């Protein structure tokens, strides 16, 4: 297996809440490969941490990532995956990483407790649609569509086993339609054309714009208030003209979505909540 594949495994290595020995042994198999000494030391530290981390009982899975650019040990809570992420520089000693985790257990517990509880799509659940609360309920009308949003309800027909998937698929479709409806007039205002609008379940960004004019958004924006959706759309449309985040870009965003500081702050505060639905 190549060094690149080994690096990929390092980047994705995750310790479960109960055991990590299988992954540790898998990673240990790369110890004899032709890799640099610093990388070999990092892999050795990773294996050792993986063997001992389960005993720390962090309350969530632990993802360990070795970063060639990191200059110090880092720690963050991944709200999307509801896990702890430990970032190690190459060459870090295993005992240092473990000691760092032990010292931060109080911080980890507080951050995990602050995460919103998962909000699955089940009958009776309340989820926002463009910021407006809606209750998920079953529809028994054989002539009704599989899913319909009306009068503060998300009505789902058919086998209840399919309810979560149908709600998710329908909301993703509504999100794409809403985002495209808002994006195309803004693009016309600045003399640009959109090639395609798509939605994905991205966890690290709310939207993106390609050089070919394709806009992609997180379908989870459907839960956000309309003003927040308008800001994200304006942000990505502005990239059709300015593929950067310089002063001209932000002036264009402000022109397309005046007063966007508030929706930007709202996204920062409610990111974990948007990721908790479904």
What would the pLDDT profile of 239-261 be if each residue is shown by its tens digit?
999 999 999 999 999 999 999 99
pLDDT, tens only, 17-66:
333 334 433 333 333 333 355 555 555 556 656 666 665 677 888 888 77
- Report d(CA 194, CA 110) in Å as an integer: 43
- Contact yes or no for 223/127 (Cβ under 8 A): yes
12 band by pLDDT with thresholds 50, 70 and 90: very low
Q: Are residues 271 and 139 in the same domain?
A: yes
Q: Does 234 fall in a domain?
A: yes
The burial class, CB within 10 Å (0-12 / 13-18 / 19+), for 97 is buried
- The answer on 154 and 89 residing in a single domain is no
Q: Which of 114, 138, 163 is the last residue of a domain?
A: 114
Q: Do the bridges between strand 83-89 and strand 74-78 make them parallel or antiparallel, or are there none, so unpaired? A: antiparallel
Q: Are 129 and 77 in contact (CB under 8 A)?
A: no
| Predicted pLDDT of residue 278 | 92
2 vs 141, residue with greater confidence: 141
Q: Indicate if the pLDDT at residue 166 is higher than 70.
A: yes
Segment among 3-17, 33-47, 83-97, 149-163 with least mean pLDDT: 3-17
Q: What is the pTM of this model?
A: 0.74
Q: Which pLDDT score, from 0 to 100, does residue 18 have?
A: 36
User: Count of CB atoms within 10 A of residue 158's CB?
Assistant: 15
> 15 pLDDT exceeds 60?
no
Question: What distance in Å separates the CA atoms of residue 80 and residue 224, rounded to the nearest whole number?
Answer: 16
The angle, 0 to 180 degrees and rounded to 10, between the axes of the packed helices 261-276 and 226-238 is 110
Position 263 in a domain: yes
Whether residue 110 is found in the same domain as residue 154: no
- Is the pLDDT confidence value at 137 over 50? yes
Q: Is residue 179 assigned to a domain?
A: yes
The length of the chain, given as a count of residues: 278
271 and 154 within one domain: yes
Q: Which residue range forms the structural domain that includes residue 21?
A: 3-114
Task: Note whether residue 119 is domain-resident.
Answer: no
DSSP label at residue 119 = B
Number of domains in the chain: 2
Last residue of a domain, one of 114, 143, 178: 114
Please report how the helices 37-52 and 21-28 are oriented relative to each other, as an axis angle in degrees rounded to 10. 160
pLDDT of res. 49? 64
Average pLDDT over residues 73-95: 80
Whether residue 87 is found in the same domain as residue 169: no
- Domain match, 244 and 223 both: yes
- Please check the confidence at residue 276 and state whether its pLDDT lies above 50: yes
Please tell me the distance from the alpha carbon of residue 118 to that of residue 3, in angstroms, as a whole number. Answer: 37
DSSP state of 118: P
Whichever domain contains 184, its CATH number is: 3.30.2010.10
Q: Are residues 141 and 269 in the same domain?
A: yes
Residue at 121 is within a domain: no
């Amino acid at each position: 297996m190549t060094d690149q594949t080994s690096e990929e495994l390092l980047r994705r290595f995750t310790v479960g809440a109960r055991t990590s020995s299988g992954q540790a042994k898998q990673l240990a198999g790369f110890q004899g490969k032709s890799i640099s000494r610093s990388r070999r030391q990092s892999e050795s530290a990773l294996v050792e941490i993986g063997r001992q981390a389960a005993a720390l009982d962090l309350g969530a899975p632990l993802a360990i990532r070795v970063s060639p650019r990191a200059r110090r040990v880092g720690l963050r809570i991944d709200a999307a995956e509801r896990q702890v992420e430990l970032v190690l520089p190459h060459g870090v000693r295993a005992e240092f990483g473990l000691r760092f985790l032990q010292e931060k257990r109080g911080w980890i517990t507080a951050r995990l407790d602050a995460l919103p509880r998962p909000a699955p799509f089940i009958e009776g659940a309340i989820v926002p649609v463009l910021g407006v609360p809606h209750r998920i309920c079953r529809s028994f009308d054989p002539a009704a569509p599989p899913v319909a949003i009306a009068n503060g309800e998300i009505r789902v027909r058919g086998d209840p086993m399919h309810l979560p998937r149908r709600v998710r698929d329908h909301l993703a479709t509504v999100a794409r339609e809403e985002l495209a409806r808002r994006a195309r007039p803004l693009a016309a205002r600045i003399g640009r054309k959109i090639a395609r609008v798509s939605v994905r379940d991205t966890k690290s960004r709310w939207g993106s714009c390609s050089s070919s004019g394709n806009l992609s958004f997180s379908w989870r924006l459907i839960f956000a208030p309309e003003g927040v959706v308008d800001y994200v759309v304006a942000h990505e449309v502005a990239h059709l003209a300015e593929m950067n985040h310089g002063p001209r870009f932000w002036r264009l965003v402000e022109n397309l979505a005046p007063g966007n500081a508030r929706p930007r702050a709202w996204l920062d505060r409610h990111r974990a909540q948007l990721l908790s639905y479904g």
